[in-house]
Chains A and B, each alone.
Chain A
Amino acid sequence: MSGSSPSRAPRDIDHAVVRFAGDSGDGMQLTGTEFTREAAFQGNDLATFPDYPAEIRAPAGTTAGVSGYQIQFAAHEVYSAGDQPDTLVAMNPAALKVHLADLKKGGLLVLNEASFQPADLTRAGWKSNPLTDHSLDGYRLIQVDFDKLVTHACEGLPGLGAKDVQRTKNFFALGLVFWLYSRDTARQEKAIHERFAKKPEIGEANLRAFKAGYFYGETTEAADAPWHIAPARLSPGTYRNVMGSTALALGLVAAAQKSGLRLFFGSYPITPASDILHELAKHRQFGVTTFQAEDEIAAVTASIGAAFGGALGATASSGPGIALKTEALGLALMIELPLVVIDAQRGGPSTGLPTKTEQSDLFQAVYGRNGESPIPVLAARSPADCFEVAFEASRIAIEYRTPVILLSDGAIGNGTEPWKLPRADALPRIDPKLRTDPEGFQPYSRDPETLARPWAVPGTKGLEHRVGGLEKDSLTGNVSYDPLNHEKMTRTRAEKVNRIARTYPKLVPAGDPDGEVGVLSWGGTYGSVTQAVIDARASGIRVGHIHLRHIFPLPLDLPEVLSRYRRILLPELNLGQLRLHVRGQLGIETIGLNKIQGKPFHVAEVRSAIEALARSPGPVTHKELA
């Protein structure tokens, strides 16, 4: 089949957004992932956004159980998973109900008409049948009986129940979309064989469903397809498509290898951070110890214990779990040992929206502890960026003997994008400078440059000492209640963290280096903001983009860079936490664009805000754009 050519020549387009949606048991995440893999192989740039419910299997056919996976793939650089799908695959009426409003006007709908029975419609909350009541007017439609076609495709296959056959429908959909975008099928056919190697009859059924979907498109010349999207001109190098959680894990392993330390990762299962544990648990040969703890507190305190023993300690969680770890973070900063703490943010407060994304843990990360307790905070901007940020967080933790918080989020952690692989030997070495010399050893003497204290690990003769959460004498580390010593230590801990800002690279705005509007952003809004700035500049607005990796301490050159723009727009998926942080730290007013829906920004939302600010002549005051 890979040799067969479409009857109609594919038409070149430069990008497309496809969303797969179905029940959480329909295999939509797998379908999306497989489509993404092929897009990566074909050299497209891409970004993905998986969106699934907190319930593993909500009642079938209800809107509560709808799981979606969106990909934007293109012949040019891609920064976000796209605002509106060009093609929406809806496996049932519930998926259509949830996602129809997002589909681009005139967009392509792929529907399984077998699933539009009266009972299905009622379960999904449709009052009448959208296939017949003109709800779908204005969209192009591929309406197929998936049930019947997969049944035909699997006819004569031994050892398969009707249920097994129906479970291949997602591969039918995948095959059809492969045809729509003229994707090569050979790799996917091989992948299906490999995936189901232990159950060859199931593999054969899925393969047949996949081919049936592909042939259905080809035979019916569905829509005005097929389309073709050429490889993107990415910068030369070797790439792999990577999930944010995977890249975080690899960043930690790389930092441990480059510092010659063991990696100890303590973790307690929590959405959306657990994948980091899953990834690290595979890499034991690198001296990686993963410890699934009894709770969040044990996860972080075990990592602190390991750091005391000379390992790179790390832990990961999401907002609620980080709250539980808070007291331990105070201990880590008091005893001044390296610790990397990843917060994969999700909708909050409390249990909030476990599977949805948000940026509302900035205050918790920067300000959420008892006492004067400065902890450096970094934020990853995209799945591939997670590697570098995890490496950088580890560097800071090791060199400054401090806990470091790394903010990621659900969309970054689960999302994927092509990652240009660094060469392992080109990664910088991190020198842990373990203390071995007993001569003149004082547990709290400090490096004059970094103010880091010596890291003297058990097993080192002559350096026996005790640490703890009680205030320390500024030299000996013995317990001290002396008032002036406490002030000195409090100021020293703050100064040590402040000095980290000296090691940041210079801030270079993207787009215009000065102008009407500067867009300041952090974390996972990077993609939408980048595209919005590109679009706004194309429409003639003078706008620049400053994206922060370092949230605390803020870059020293940030005030100067911000001063080059008439007004500053600050889009965030919260009520304005970076805005208040920047105001408090720097006394600089910005204008917030705030969204708290558990979803990323659309590019269009950010672009409209830039346009509104560029047009309005009014004074620069704080306000929130509605």
Chain B
Amino acid sequence: MTGKLNLAKKDFVSDQEVRWCPGCADFAILSTVQKVMPELDVPRENIVFVSGIGCSSRFPYYMNTYGMHGIHGRAPAIATGLKMARPELTVFVVTGDGDGLSIGGNHLIHALRRNIDLKILLFDNRIYGLTKGQASPTSELGKRTKSSPYGTVDRPFNPLTIALGAGATFVARSVATDTAHLATVLRRAAQHKGAAFVQIWQNCPVFNDGAFDSWAERDVRDEALIKLEHGKPLLFGKAKDKALRTGAGFSLEVGGTDGAVVHDEMREDLALSMALAALEPPMPQPMGVLRAVSRPTVDALAREQEEEAARKQAPDLEGLLRSGDTWTVEAQA
């Protein structure tokens, strides 16, 4: 039990049978989200999960909160309308790499640029799972799938640079296999006031098994990943003996710990967060919060305008109908 409301993980488990494939990393994410929810100390009835279409988008059915399983790609737009109509609600969006970055890419970037107060969780398994194994916009170049038997010829998106480029005020990454880290990131995202974007690497055991093994498995992750901590030097390696430093030509390079760049997620400019987001293997992959800055949210701004308008002029329907030039026709004598 946590918080004043005394909620527990079980309070967020719905009565629906979870129907992901055995071994799917979505189970770990679901369990972690359900575990973190009580800590938010928000009444269940004030929480809404909105999703699009895809394996990840079945998520709302398993949360004992309000929820909507929307249509493909549109969850950020549905959630935007909901949040603007009801700013007091806590609204999560659950999407995937196909849902959020392909068919729904436009809604995702606009939700981020508006800084609508949504928590957007993008489950990235680099494959279309529900349609049984086609390349997705995050599938690596050359990947062989059912729809690309000779290997893909289109380059993938980097979800983090897209989010940063779209003006997201909170951008983070985690991985389903490290639930402690995931819980920390989810907590931070939930506490952020504004559009929070979290990329969660998530293994699909059926159509893209092992997609993240070379970075995220226990035996390699200390070397392949770098955990970001605000105000701390960017160190990695089992012995924390490697660091990211400023390299030649406006770049980050791996070197010794002296001169390590100190992480600052609150920097106004995007230089550091973008440089971290853009790191490609064999450079270490950043995990944690890349950026967390405070900006007014669109839902709050819109509501302020309405309240301001109502203060200046009380709503008067009769007056509204009669506004402009009117004239009266008298009854004929």
Contact = CB atoms under 8 A, between A and B. Distances in A.
SS of A interface (majority): mixed
Interface stretch (B183-191, B199-207, B245-253, B310-318): B310-318
A231 B106 CA distance: 54
A459 B88 contact: yes
Interface string A294-310: 11011001111111111
A312 B18 CA distance: 33
Interface stretch (B20-28, B42-50, B157-165, B254-262): B42-50
B326 interface: yes
B86 interface: yes
B65 interface: yes
A305 B79 contact: yes
A119 B12 CA distance: 77
Contacts, number: 209
Interface in B50-77: 50, 53, 60-61, 63-71, 74, 77
B307 to A, nearest CB: 9
Contacts of B83: 305
A238 B16 CA distance: 58
Contacts of A309: 81-82, 85-86, 89
Contacts of A468: 60-61, 67-70
A297 B77 CA distance: 8
A421 B82 contact: no
Residue of B82, B89, B302 with most partner-chain A CB within 10 A = B82
Contact of A301 (B65, B77, B312, B332): B77
A423 B106 CA distance: 43
B64 to A, nearest CB: 6
A305 B329 contact: no
A308 B82 contact: yes
B329 A469 contact: no
B92 to A, nearest CB: 12
Contacts of A43: 327, 329
Contact of B71 (A253, A291, A327, A460): A327
B318 A465 contact: no
B279 interface: no
Interface in B23-44: 43-44
Contact of B78 (A234, A305, A463): A305
Contact of A469 (B43, B71, B80, B318): B71
Contacts of B67: 465-468
A126 interface: no
Given A233-B332, A425-B318, A464-B45, A285 B313 contact: yes
A470 B88 CA distance: 28
B81 A291 contact: yes
B4 interface: no
Interface string B151-180: 000000000000000000000000000000
A235 interface: yes
A274 interface: no
A284 B309 contact: yes
A131 to B, nearest CB: 38
B239 interface: no
Interface size range of chain B in the complex: 35 or more
Interface residues of A, number: 72
Interface string A328-355: 1011000100000000000000000000
Contact of B317 (A253, A297, A461, A478): A253
B327 A461 contact: no
A125 interface: no
Contact of A470 (B69, B107, B305): B69
Nearest to A315: B81
Contact of A461 (B45, B60, B306, B323): B45
A286 B315 CA distance: 5
A422 interface: yes
A254 B319 CA distance: 11
Contacts of A302: 77-78, 80-81, 84
A469 B70 CA distance: 6
Interface in A77-100: none
B302 A289 contact: yes
Nearest to B51: A468
A310 B329 contact: no
A452 to B, nearest CB: 19
B320 A331 contact: no
Nearest to B43: A461
B306 A288 contact: yes
Nearest to A313: B81
Contacts of A331: 70-71
A290 to B, nearest CB: 9
A306 B106 CA distance: 19
B322 interface: yes
A4 B233 CA distance: 86
A298 B318 contact: no
Given A283-B320, A287-B315, A466-B14, A239 B329 contact: yes
Given A257-B315, A302-B77, A461-B43, A41 B327 contact: yes
14 contacts: A238-B326, A284-B308, A301-B74, A302-B77, A304-B81, A309-B89, A311-B86, A422-B321, A459-B88, A466-B61, A466-B66, A468-B70, A469-B70, A470-B69
Q: Name the 9 nearest CB pairs between A and B, nearest first.
A: A468-B69, A302-B81, A305-B81, A305-B82, A306-B85, A298-B77, A305-B78, A284-B309, A466-B67
Given A254-B317, A328-B74, 16 more contacts: A37-B325, A238-B322, A240-B324, A240-B327, A291-B302, A301-B107, A308-B66, A327-B71, A328-B71, A335-B68, A457-B86, A458-B86, A465-B66, A467-B67, A468-B60, A479-B61
